[in-house]
Amino acid sequence: MTTGILALQGDFREHEEIIRRLGIPVQQVRLPKHLDTIDRLIIPGGESTTIGKLLVKYGLIEPIRRRAGRDLAVWGTCAGAILMAHQIIDGRPEGQPNLDVMDIVARRNAFGRQRDSFEADLDVPVMGEQPVPGVFIRAPGIESVGMGVDVLARLPESKIVAARQGRLLATTFHPELTGDDRFHRYFLEL
C-alpha cells in the first residue's frame, strides 16, 4: 500500500512527514504516471485555484476522477476539499477546474479571510472521545452533503468541517499542522 500526496502546491510536505512516520510508503504525485503505484491520494491545503489549474496543466483531473472512490481513496484537506466538491459557492473564480468527485457543496473562505484563521477542538465520534485539534486557515466550509455522505465533524455553530463518502474524505481544516495523526490513520483505513 503506497499513499500518494499531490505535490503541485500547498502543504504536501507536512502530510508526507506524517505518513512516513506511520511507516507507510509515500509517492509524490505530479504526473499521471505517479498515480499508477498508489491506492490512496491526499490533496493538501494550499490555493484551490492554483492547484486546480496545475491539475489541468499536468493532465491529472481525468485520471483522478476515473479512480476516485473506487480503487483510489482520496482525502482533500482545506483547498483539497474544495476541489473534491460537486459544487463550489462563494468566490469561485470563473472556470476554476475541480475534480467534482464528492457529493458535497463547499463554500470558499467560509470563515473569512486569512486574518480570521483560528484553531478549534472538534468532536469527531469516529475517532474516540478525545477532541481532535483543527487548524482553520482561510478555510472553506461544507454547506451541505448529499445522500450517502456521512458528516464526521461540525463546529459548534453547526458548520460541517469533515465528511466521508465511501473512500472519499474531506476536511476543511489542516490535521497535518497539529501533532495529532488520527485523521491520517483514519484515512489509511479507508
**Catalytic positions, written as ranges:** 78, 174, 176
- For 7, half-sphere exposure in the C-beta direction (CA atoms, 13 angstrom radius) is 17
* Gap between the Cα atoms of 102 and 149, Å rounded: 8
The label of the residue with cell 510536505 reads 13
Q: How far apart are CA 137 and CA 118, in angstroms?
A: 7
Burial class (CB in 10 A: 0-12, 13-18, 19+), 136: buried
> Which residues contact residue 116 at a Cβ distance below 8 angstroms, ignoring those fewer than 6 apart?
138
Cα 3 from chain centre:
14
- What ranges in the chain are assigned the alpha helix state H? 12-21, 48-57, 61-67, 79-84, 182-188
